[in-house]
A and B are shown apart, each in its own frame.
Chain A
């Protein structure tokens, strides 16, 4: 069974731009969560989607948003990028159990 797939693996953007990251969960998993990982703040929860509805949200500004499609694939969008948004963004899926993580998208904002 294929794991969680995140695209792209690497992104370089300029301050003020926006970016969209994509996540394909493990087949059959309906819950998708997003985490931000930085050296300073560690792993922080962004949001969780289940059956196209946001079920949980972390403490991030409104510039961070997401959505989930009917096939459970999810996208995360960050608008008006700031230097501090540089991070590894991890997506994870689950089927009422532990989270299974993808390899992440490394976003660099210059």
Chain B
């Protein structure tokens, strides 16, 4: 079965602190993996994607993610969080069905 797990429902960090959002997937082969961000009342914006090749992927807004096959993980990181990063973050997998399977999301709150 194909699935995505985001273990953290809600994370709170201080502005300027580092951030890591966890994502684990279940899939028999190497999937295509994505991170999207959703601000209140908005759609989803693509932060970054992993298809193949270099396991460290750079995205927009200073985000990066690392694909670890041995851990079935694709964690999102940012070295210094800004107040504008407060939003909900979704990890997604595209397997052999050509449709995205999303995790349940992690809501990020940033304190000044």
Q: Indicate whether A and B interact.
A: yes
- Interface of A with B (CB < 8 Å)? 4, 6, 33, 35, 42-43, 45, 48, 55-56, 58, 90, 92, 98-104
Contacts of A48 in B (CB 8 A): 98-99
> B46 near A102 (CB under 8 angstroms)?
no
- Which residues of chain A are near B103, meaning CB under 8 Å? 42
B-to-A contact residues, CB < 8 Å? 34, 36, 41-46, 49, 90, 97-105
Identify 26 residue pairs between A and B in the complex whose beta-carbon atoms are under 8 Å apart, listed by A's number: A33-B99, A42-B102, A42-B103, A42-B104, A43-B100, A45-B101, A48-B99, A56-B97, A56-B98, A58-B99, A90-B43, A90-B44, A92-B43, A92-B44, A98-B49, A99-B44, A99-B46, A99-B100, A100-B46, A101-B36, A101-B43, A101-B44, A101-B45, A102-B43, A103-B41, A103-B43
Taking a contact as CB atoms closer than 8 A, the residue among B34, B41, B100 that contacts A45 in the complex is B100
Chain A residues, Cβ within 8 Å of B42: 103-104
Contacts of B105 in A (CB 8 A): 42
C-alpha gap A28/B37 in the complex (Å)? 24
Q: Are A98 and B99 in contact (CB under 8 A)?
A: no
CB pair A56–B43 under 8 Å, yes or no, is no
Which residues of B are found within 8 Å of A102, using beta-carbon distances? 43
In the complex, which of the residues B36, B41, B98, B101 contacts A55, with contact meaning CB atoms closer than 8 Å?
B98
